[in-house]
Amino acid sequence: MKKVLVVGYGTIGQRLADGVAQQDDMELVGVVDAAVSLGIRALKEKGMPYQLYAANEEARKAFAEIGVPAAGLMEDALEKADIVLDATSAGIGAQNKKIYQEKGLKAVFQGGEKNDVADVFFHGYANYEKGVGADFLKLTSCNTTGLIRAVDCLNRKCGIEKVAITIVRRVADPGDYHRGLTNALQVDQAPSHQAVDLMTIMPEIEATGILVHAPVTHGHFITVVATPKKDITVEEAIEAFREHDRIRMVRLEDGFKGNASIFKYARDLGRPRGDLYEICIWENTIVKSGRDLMFGIHIPQESVTIPETIDAVRAALHMDKNGEEAVARTNKNLGLGAWKEQR
């Protein structure tokens, strides 16, 4: 059993802890955090299912003041781990990397860190083998992670020459107030970093894109126009997407009207926090313009990177040298694809 430590118990860290705990060949050492948050308060009320370590003495005192038991300090937890999943705020991970290096530990960083924090910019499906044995890996952002799943799926089916994307980006996660109350759309400079990042992971594909921030919280929406190397029908594209364990195909006529419908469905399924690990593609949006294929994707931003992060653990620790075997093991442990049996 490989021992995994999650540093940063925020939006992503909470979900990483849950994801690691579901793996049959990994052991969650615990979680590390630096301040009292709603997540920490909820951890206490749930009966401390995970060992909590304080990032420093100040944090340990703060936890004690609200009656939350700390199993020790971060340095104590690092001694027990084989690898660290760093889910701290952007910039903190780069500082923590020095500590991990001193301890001789491997680490996986999330999309908010700069690319130079890691040896490999990683995606479980598109470039798993590059991460095998690497000391420091960095995940793509939530949008890029989901985008690459879909593009890689088509690329394996028919080859993709280029893609053009438009991202309608949620402005903040549910519960966040730091962006304020908004009633506006904000346009970013093109090309969006997601298109640039896709080309970094998949250099054989030309990509460009536009990003627009929208005043919503439950998920991003991406439109993709993909130019295939070999002509593909809408029906063939649908079948390829249906076979992918990290993609859910949804339809308007079944009640999936938009991002809120998908979030509600995840809650109705009993998914913790209303999370989905899968991206969703509307069958109704898959159309052709000449040879080009167009479709729309829902990205559940809080949870979509969890499977790829677990893939990164497998790669870094040599748990699986073959990418297809690695993602299949992660998918099985997370229950991904199991719902297809009920179709």
Provide the residue ranges of all domains of the chain, joining segments of one domain with +: 2-140+305-342, 142-299
Question: With helix as H, strand as E and coil as C, how does the chain read?
Answer: CEEEEEECCCHHHHHHHHHHHCCCCEEEEEEEECCCCHHHHHHHHCCCCCCEEECCHHHHHHHHHCCCCCCEEHHHHHCCCCEEEECCCCCHHHHHHHHHHHHCCEEEECCCCCHHHCCEEECCCCCHHHHCCCCEEEECCHHHHHHHHHHHHHHHHHCEEEEEEEEEEECCCCCCCCCCCCCCCEECCCCCHHHHHHHHHCCCCEEEEEEEEECCCCCEEEEEEEEECCCCCHHHHHHHHHCCCCEEEECHHHCCCCHHHHHHHHHHCCCHHHCCCCEEEEHHHCEEECCEEEEEEEECCCCCCHHHHHHHHHHHCCCCCCHHHHHHHHHHHHCCCHHHHHC
109 close to 92: Cβ distance less than 8 angstroms: no
Strands 72-73 and 52-54: parallel
Neighbouring-strand partners of residue 120: 137
pLDDT of residue 342: 64
pLDDT score recorded for residue 30? 98
Do residues 187 and 212 lie in contact, with contact meaning Cβ atoms separated by under 8 Å? yes
Q: How many CA atoms lie within 13 A of 275 on its CB side?
A: 20
Q: What is the spatial distance between Cα 106 and Cα 134, in angstroms, rounded to a whole number?
A: 8
Q: What pLDDT was estimated at residue 343? A: 58
- Give catalytic residues, as residue numbers: 142
Q: What is residue 217's predicted lDDT score, i.e. its pLDDT?
A: 81
Residue type, 170: R
Q: Are 267 and 327 in contact (CB under 8 A)?
A: no
- What pLDDT score does 171 carry? 77
The pTM of the full predicted model, rounded to 2 decimals, is 0.94
Tokens standing for 177?
Answer: 């107030």
Q: For residue 289, count other CB atoms closer than 10 A to its CB.
A: 9
How many Å apart are CA 48 and CA 45, to the nearest integer? 7
CA distance 226 to 163: 4
d(CA 324, CA 178): 40
Q: What is the dihedral of CA 185, 304, 299, 223, to 10 degrees?
A: 100
What does each of the 343 residues of the chain score in pLDDT, given as a tens digit?
999 999 999 999 999 999 999 999 999 999 999 999 999 999 999 999 999 999 999 999 999 999 998 999 999 999 999 999 999 999 999 999 999 999 999 999 998 899 999 999 999 999 999 999 999 999 999 999 999 999 999 999 999 999 999 999 887 767 666 666 677 889 999 999 999 999 999 999 999 999 999 888 889 999 999 999 999 999 999 999 999 999 999 999 999 999 999 999 999 999 999 999 999 999 999 999 999 999 999 999 999 999 999 999 999 999 999 999 999 999 999 999 887 766 5
Joined tokens for residue 188: 């970013």
Residue 238 CB neighbour total at 10 angstroms: 15
> Taking the domain 142-299, which CATH number applies?
3.30.360.10
**CA triplet 243, 143, 321: central angle to 5 degrees?**
55
What is the CATH number that goes with domain 2-140+305-342?
3.40.50.720
The amino acid occupying position 25 is D
